[in-house]
């Protein structure tokens, strides 16, 4: 596929028709009298309240009798045989949600993409779609440059599918993907051996534990995690492993302090709202020995942290595994920054869910 073919395929996706337009229109117009439920507790589902008649929220893990925004929660087993289900899952497993519903005998499934297409502007696009459309409109040519730079066909196909999904929330573009987050930083092309590993955004030590298990000949790990709570969990989890240096700091482009929301689990991040004050440093200051592998998933802080790694990247030429999914612009800015230091980096792209989250760009 040429650059122009890539651009044409992406632009064609924006106008792709809905899979179930008649049912979507019946829901929007109020013509349907069948019981209707929504799956997904997110902004897309919330936006439908008052716009579509909803009888409840489908959630197999909810406490019996619980509600969400005054909508009763029900399990799949409780769905009426003639139920319509609106699939608002977009982040992790929209394909699996659809498949589970079909396996349970639910034939009438409407995606959020179907409803948005049928609503003709009356329902807002999800935030990730709005973000992607704005970025694509301004930087389409640079996206094509990224496509051309990718090292293998799997990377090129991944970029094509992801951009089309992120522009539309159309689940048809994600049908070939699986949720495989444990594989996230361990692709064969990395050829991991005797690494000095930097885990930036170490959370509770889950990635470092997987790294130590998969790469037992590692030389050292530097784990950075600014939250005291998360760091205590990481130290307990990794107590049996050797040669791990725990840095209770976040990585940034300068030394200082920021407010950090540590209550969001693996999505803990720098915030402008309430949170704990944490210390930040740069990798160039914190680690003076050569490093060979840097992983980052910092909830949108990656480019700032990379700026504080410039010397280590320039001198050591480590392999990089950088999350790029938090904003559409992350794909471009991370790609541009890494290649500005080492233009000969080989670039790979892999995706680890069926939704918009968990995309990693590798530089080898």
Q: Give span(s): CATH 3.40.50.720, the chain.
A: 16-119
Q: Give span(s): CATH 3.40.50.150, the chain.
A: 181-323
Q: What is the DSSP code (8-state) at residue 125?
A: P
Cβ atoms of 332 and 142 closer than 8 Å: yes
Q: Which CATH class is domain 16-119?
A: alpha beta
CA–CA distance, 354 with 356 (Å, rounded to integer):
7
Q: Report the first-to-last Cα separation within the chain, whole angstroms.
A: 23
Comparing C-alpha atoms, which of 290, 85, 98 is closest to residue 194? Answer: 290
CA–CA distance, 358 with 338 (Å, rounded to integer):
19
Q: Digits of tens for pLDDT over the chain (364 positions)?
A: 899 999 999 999 998 888 889 999 999 999 999 999 999 999 999 999 989 999 999 999 999 899 999 999 999 999 999 999 999 999 999 999 999 999 999 999 999 999 999 988 889 999 999 999 999 999 999 999 999 999 999 999 999 999 999 999 999 999 999 999 999 999 999 999 999 999 999 999 999 999 999 999 999 999 999 999 999 999 999 999 999 999 999 999 999 887 866 565 545 456 556 567 888 999 999 999 999 999 999 988 899 999 999 999 999 999 999 999 999 999 999 999 999 999 999 999 999 999 999 999 999 9
If one looks up domain 181-323 in CATH, what number appears? 3.40.50.150
């Amino acid at each position: 596929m040429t650059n122009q073919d890539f651009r044409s395929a992406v632009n064609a996706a924006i106008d792709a028709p809905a899979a179930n337009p008649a049912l979507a229109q019946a829901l929007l117009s109020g013509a349907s009298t069948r019981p209707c439920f929504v799956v997904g507790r997110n902004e897309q589902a919330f936006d439908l309240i008052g716009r579509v008649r909803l009888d409840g929220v489908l959630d197999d893990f909810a406490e019996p009798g619980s509600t969400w925004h005054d909508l009763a929660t029900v399990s799949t087993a409780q769905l009426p045989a003639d139920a319509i289900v609106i699939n608002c899952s977009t982040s992790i497993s929209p394909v699996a949600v659809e498949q589970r519903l079909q396996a349970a005998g639910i034939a009438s499934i409407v995606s959020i993409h179907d409803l948005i297409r049928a609503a003709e502007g009356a329902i807002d696009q999800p935030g990730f779609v709005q973000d992607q459309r704005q970025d694509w409109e301004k930087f389409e040519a640079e996206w094509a440059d990224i496509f051309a730079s990718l090292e293998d066909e799997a990377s090129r196909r991944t970029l094509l599918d992801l951009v089309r999904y992120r522009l539309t929330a159309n689940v048809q573009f994600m049908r070939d993907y699986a949720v495989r987050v444990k594989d996230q930083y361990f692709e064969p092309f990395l050829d991991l051996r005797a690494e000095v590993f930097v885990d930036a955004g170490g959370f509770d030590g889950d990635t470092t534990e997987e790294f130590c298990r998969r790469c037992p000949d590692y030389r050292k790990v530097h784990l950075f995690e600014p939250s005291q709570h998360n760091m205590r969990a990481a130290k307990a989890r990794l107590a049996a492993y050797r040669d791990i240096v725990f840095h209770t700091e976040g990585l940034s482009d300068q030394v200082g302090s920021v407010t950090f929301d540590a209550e969001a689990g693996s999505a803990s991040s720098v915030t402008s709202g309430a949170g704990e004050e944490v210390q930040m440093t740069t990798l160039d200051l914190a680690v003076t020995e050569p490093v060979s592998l840097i992983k980052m998933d910092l909830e949108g802080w990656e480019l700032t942290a990379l700026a504080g790694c410039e010397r280590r990247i320039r001198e050591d030429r480590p392999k990089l595994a950088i999350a790029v999914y938090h904003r559409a612009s992350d794909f471009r800015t991370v790609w541009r920054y890494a290649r500005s230091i080492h233009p000969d980096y080989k670039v790979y792209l892999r995706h680890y869910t069926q939704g918009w989250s968990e995309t990693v760009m590798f530089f080898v």
